[in-house]
């Protein structure tokens, strides 16, 4: 895994239109602390470089077996059938010798190291698209916060270049890491999967407590940092878009949608109530200290209401699909979500309407979780 000297990236998507506003370049960071059973990017979960093997492409030439310096590749039987070729991940060092010589491109490395400078150069290639569309760059994954040092350097570099930035995150990171990244990002695409902790653990491998607590803190960040700070010294803090992957049979039930809607609304994601002005007006002319203090507290609450409301811009629904199934075969991993069907338009519409009853601005996408 790269970090301070650069980042390990497993994919770069140009002209992306679902990863934030406008036309964007999306960089997918390798490594994710979750292991969602439906993951659309299983190649992003392992934090290290990996190899894939595509038996459909393999022509059984055996060149890879002979050339591997670590003797990591073998044939499982006396057959020369390509399907019998296996790689021992415990002794493979990902030197890429075999991928370079494979005539059929059946073996491919997953994950490439980029220095911060080279990643920034790549991002700048599409400056004109960002400028014309109001777009920018999105750091996704995997989980970009797992390579937070490099991420912060990239965000700073983009800020200097006046390129809009979005961080697509699971929210599963220590608060100091998230808080630091928040100083430089313009937008967070923050995933919410299950409100029930037991289900979250069962289907993603981790508890949701840290995620929910981080989202709460992130939503409050602007308010907390601004109270008592003058307009001139205000630090610009990022906007938030909540992203919900809709996985039928797992998280599309009424109880989860209801709990999700209520939670987001409690963070101020619902309809805006501008009470800030009232609080300010009521301060004028009051000379009693105790009453001033009470009123300050009320005013802060009012400001919180206004500012938090303005922070959570939208809630995006990302319908599950199973296009990723072939990736699991290449990695030799069991695909545990094979019986799950994509949600129908009616299911998505019903969820959207339910969330809208909490005053949320809900947008539906045609693609799944990152």
Residues that bind ligand SF4 (CB under 6 A): 32, 34-36, 39, 41, 44-45, 51, 58-64, 68, 70, 72-73, 82, 85, 87, 92-98, 102-104, 106-107, 141-142, 170, 204, 369-370
Nearer Cβ to ligand SF4, position 68 or 244? 68
* Terminal Cα-to-Cα distance of the chain (whole angstroms): 20
Residue ranges with strand state E in 170-287: 187-191, 239-246
The least CB distance from residue 331 to ligand SF4, in Å, is 13
Q: Measured from the CB of residue 330, what is the shortest distance to ligand SF4 in angstroms?
A: 12
Could you tell me the smallest distance in angstroms from the CB atom of residue 139 to ligand SF4? 13
Comparison of 337 and 348: residue with beta carbon closer to ligand SF4: 337
Q: Which of 49, 226 has the CB closer to ligand SF4?
A: 49
Beta carbon nearer to ligand SF4, 145 or 265: 145
Q: Which is nearer to ligand SF4, 95 or 276 (CB)?
A: 95
Minimum distance from residue 70 beta carbon to ligand SF4 (Å):
4
Q: Which of 72, 68, 75 is nearest to 97 (CA)?
A: 68
What are the backbone angles phi and psi of residue 314, rounded to the nearest 5°? Answer: -150, 165
Q: How far is the CB of 105 from ligand SF4 (least distance, A)?
A: 8
Residue with smaller CB distance to ligand SF4, 72 or 264: 72
Collapsing DSSP to helix, strand or coil, 362 comes out as: strand
For 113, 227, 235, the CA distances from 230, given in Å and listed in that order, are 42, 8, 10
DSSP for residue 326: H
Q: Under 8 Å CB-to-CB from 360, ≥6 apart: which residues?
A: 261, 264, 265, 269, 270, 314, 315
Q: How far is the CB of 71 from ligand SF4 (least distance, A)?
A: 8
Reading phi first (left if > 0) and then psi (alpha if -120 to 50, else beta), residue 139 is in beta
């Amino acid at each position: 895994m790269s970090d301070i000297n650069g980042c390990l990236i497993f994919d770069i998507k140009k002209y992306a239109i679902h990863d934030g506003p406008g036309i964007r370049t999306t960089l997918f960071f390798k490594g994710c602390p979750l292991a969602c059973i439906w993951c659309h990017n299983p190649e992003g979960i392992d934090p290290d470089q990996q190899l894939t093997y595509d038996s459909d492409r393999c022509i059984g030439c055996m060149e890879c077996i002979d050339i591997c310096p670590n003797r990591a590749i073998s044939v499982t039987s006396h057959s020369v059938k390509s399907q019998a070729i296996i790689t021992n991940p415990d002794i493979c060092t990902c030197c890429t010798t075999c991928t370079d010589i494979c005539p059929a491109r059946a073996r491919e490395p997953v994950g490439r190291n980029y220095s911060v400078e080279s990643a920034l150069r790549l991002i700048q290639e599409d400056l004109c698209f960002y400028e014309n569309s109001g777009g920018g760059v999105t750091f996704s994954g995997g989980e970009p916060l797992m390579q937070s040092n490099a991420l912060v350097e990239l965000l700073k570099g983009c800020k200097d270049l006046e390129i809009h930035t979005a961080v697509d995150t699971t929210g599963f990171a220590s608060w100091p890491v998230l808080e630091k990244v928040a100083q430089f990002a313009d937008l967070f695409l923050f995933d919410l999967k299950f409100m029930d902790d037991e289900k979250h653990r069962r289907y993603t491998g981790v508890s949701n407590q840290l995620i929910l607590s981080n989202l709460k803190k992130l939503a409050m960040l602007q308010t907390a940092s601004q109270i008592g700070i003058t307009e001139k010294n205000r630090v610009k803090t990022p906007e938030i878009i909540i992203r919900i992957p809709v996985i039928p049979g797992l998280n599309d039930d009424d109880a989860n949608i209801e709990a999700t809607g209520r939670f987001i609304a409690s963070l101020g994601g619902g309809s805006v109530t501008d009470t800030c002005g009232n609080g300010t007006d009521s301060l004028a002319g009051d000379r009693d200290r105790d009453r001033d203090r009470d009123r300050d507290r009320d005013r802060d609450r009012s400001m919180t209401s206004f500012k938090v409301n303005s922070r959570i811009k939208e809630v995006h629904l990302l319908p599950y699909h199973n296009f990723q199934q072939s990736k699991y075969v290449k990695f030799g991993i069991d695909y545990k979500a094979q019986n799950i069907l994509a949600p129908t338009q009616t299911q998505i519409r019903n969820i959207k309407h339910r969330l809208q009853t909490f005053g949320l601005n809900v947008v539906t996408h045609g693609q799944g979780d990152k």
